[in-house]
Amino acid sequence: MSAIVKKIPNKLKNRHEIYSFLEDHMAKTYEKIRQEGEYEFGKNLLKTYIIESNYKDPFHFLDSLNGKAIIKWNKIDKDSFLIDYKKSDLEVNFFIDTINPRFWLLHTISPARDTDTVIGKFVQPMISHLDHLWMDRLMLQDIKLEHGDYTKSIGIQYRYGDVFPSSDFGDSFSLRANGAPSDILIKIFSQYPELAGIFAISSVGFKKIFNSDVNENELKLLIEDVYYQGKFTVKGTSIYEHIDTVSDILRKYENLVKIIESEYNMEYTKAEGGFTIKGSPLCIDFKKRIENLDVFVKTVFSAKEPFRLSGFHSKLDSGTYLISCLDLHNGDDLRLELTEDWVRIYLPHDACGNTTMRFLCNLQRYYDANASLEGINSGRIR
């Protein structure tokens, strides 16, 4: 027998009612965990996904799902709607908030395995006009430091062996730690160079208390798990504090994306007596030297997952590789120069800042967790 599908009821008429329902759900799951150490079977945690959208109108997104799944939707207000998604045995629903037209928030209490799958179905297809967030290792560490009073968990996924030719099982590494030792683990991984190179953080969990001067029953708190692709799972007492946390993280991410687009997208424009070049190339520095550039290039620019960069390369007599490629996630065309120690990226004038973040995140996850992004105007960016 399949688990009971939990959903946000369609009878809810406005944001306030939906948030009240979600807060109630959050509080109940938290209370159950607090009292019994685990949450109730079938009672799923509240999850929020952030998705980058290139749709001018969110209803075009709903139209795009026609014929792929059974979709029912209710407009809640001019910027939000509830959707029920059904395909075969997948049945989930989301409250979609598009108040930020570029970055949508999708809240759900449906089972995580199913919602992860459906989000993948939304984002993964070519020309989907949607993308995940791509939070790199430093950003996740910063989130934990800025928002958490206590570290609750840490996830590491270094997957070199999944992508690059390798005969050694040790070339991939994953770890998920819950509880107080998470902080100690972070220190250990940062201190040892052998571990730092595989320290590709995939998630951080933290606890945040808003009123520590009251007794335990009146505590207002959040326990958030933040995943690098913009997924949040939350337990706690206040939906508004959760939304504030998500919004703050999103604001910083959006600023970063905008800095990339405004300062590093390259545009050649006519000017008095000639032309000017706005923007400048970005550079990703590797701490792990690329020993075989040929294999690296053939792997990364093969159009395959996870990079999905379809590229053509040529090698100069100095050993530098020149690469021209198309990002099959969104159709951005990039020009790169690759050496053993760094890759210089020339972004076109209309490139999406998320493209650079995706490339950096994937390089950290699949090649060098220490890879860092630099720009001549800003120094180290990530």
Query: Which residues form the interface with another protein (CB under 8 A)?
Result: 126-127, 266, 268, 270, 272-277, 280-283, 302-305, 308, 310-320, 322, 324-326, 328, 331, 333, 335-337, 339, 342, 344, 346, 348, 374-377
CA dist 176 and 157 (Å) reads 9
Other beta carbons within 10 angstroms of residue 215's beta carbon come to 6
CA dist 146 and 169 (Å) reads 36
Q: Measured from the CB of residue 304, what is the shortest distance to another protein in angstroms? A: 7
In one letter, which amino acid is 146?
E
Measured in whole angstroms, the distance separating CA 356 from the mean position of its chain's CA atoms is 13
Q: Measured from the CB of residue 66, what is the shortest distance to another protein in angstroms? A: 17
The alpha-helical segments, DSSP class H, found in 214-344 are 239-259, 293-300
DSSP state of 247: H
Helix axes 15-36, 239-259, angle to 10 degrees: 110
Instruction: Examine residue 125 and say whether the peptide bond preceding it is cis (omega within 30 degrees of 0).
Output: no
Q: Measured from the CB of residue 119, what is the shortest distance to another protein in angstroms? A: 18
Q: Which is nearer to another protein, 170 or 379 (CB)?
A: 379
Residue with tokens 């939990």: 6
Q: Which is nearer to another protein, 13 or 315 (CB)?
A: 315
> Measured at the alpha carbon of residue 116, what is the angle toward residues 111 and 120, in degrees to the nearest 5?
150
Pairing verdict, β 201-209 and 221-227: antiparallel
Bridge partners, 86 (sequence order): 70, 91
Q: Which is nearer to another protein, 251 or 287 (CB)?
A: 287
Q: Which is nearer to another protein, 241 or 327 (CB)?
A: 327
Q: Which is nearer to another protein, 1 or 316 (CB)?
A: 316
Q: Which is nearer to another protein, 74 or 299 (CB)?
A: 299
CA dist 332 and 348 (Å) reads 8
CA dist 209 and 233 (Å) reads 16
CA dist 74 and 184 (Å) reads 47
Contact present, 358 and 131 (Cβ < 8 Å): yes
Q: Which is nearer to another protein, 100 or 310 (CB)?
A: 310
The phi-psi region of residue 179 (left if phi > 0; otherwise alpha if psi is between -120 and 50; otherwise beta) is: left
Q: Which is nearer to another protein, 80 or 128 (CB)?
A: 128
